Amino acid sequence: MAFWTNPNLVRNARALVAAVLTIGTLGLSVPAMAQEVAPEHLALARKYIDLTDRAAVFEVTVVETGIETMQQIVQQNPEILDKTNDAVGKVIQEYNGRKGELLDQFARVYAVRFSIEELQQIVAFYESPVGMKLSQANSELNTDLQRVLQVYTNNLKREFFAKVRAELRAQGIEI
């Protein structure tokens, strides 16, 4: 079984991509992306991206896309499972050298949002022992936070429904 057909990897990849993209894209706006940014400003933002890219967003996104493509093709053509698996693997390999394209776009977002001075402070923090520890822990922390939020949300839904039902019952309405 190829690594991109492993159900555990699929589940973890989807959770990781969702967490990283949710946290990493809050507050983005298209007009801000169109602004011109000095090369040294972009370089500093890219340094921050490189220091904090512990979640392997690019790799996870490419693998997840491969998984989805494979599932879509094999669902309708199960007889070509092995050939599709090989084709997906080959295409994934073609994307290996393209990570910089995505990270450069991420850097532009940060360069637009933060001044050079702010980015210098951010980079200095992430180069410190505590910053490195935080960067390494962020992926696991995001996964743990998602689990906590999911449990909270599930409990909230049941509790909220029960309270609304009780409120309706107090008004003589049974559901």
Which tokens sit at 85? 């698996």
Tell me, what's the pLDDT at 130? 97
Kind plus residue range of the DSSP H or E element containing 51: helix 39-52
Which tokens sit at 138? 């962020």
Tell me, what's the pLDDT at 159? 97
Tell me, what's the pLDDT at 34? 57
What residue type is 5 in one-letter code? T
Tell me, what's the pLDDT at 139? 83
Residue range 47-68: mean pLDDT, rounded: 91
Residue range 158-175: mean pLDDT, rounded: 96
pLDDT at position 95 over 60: yes
Tell me, what's the pLDDT at 90? 95
pLDDT tens digits, residue range 101-158?
999 999 999 999 999 999 999 999 999 999 999 999 998 998 999 999 999 999 999 9
Greater pLDDT, 71 or 22: 71
What residue type is 75 in one-letter code? Q
For residue 81, report the phi and psi dihedrals to the nearest 5 degrees: -55, -55
Tell me, what's the pLDDT at 97? 87
Tell me, what's the pLDDT at 76? 95
Burial of 170 (0-12, 13-18, 19+ CB in 10 A): exposed
Q: Residue 99 CB: number of other CB atoms within 10 A?
A: 16
pLDDT tens digits, residue range 14-48?
554 554 444 444 444 444 455 789 999 999 999 99
Q: Where does 95-128 have alpha helices with state H?
A: 99-113, 116-127
8 A C-beta contact, residue 103 and residue 43: no
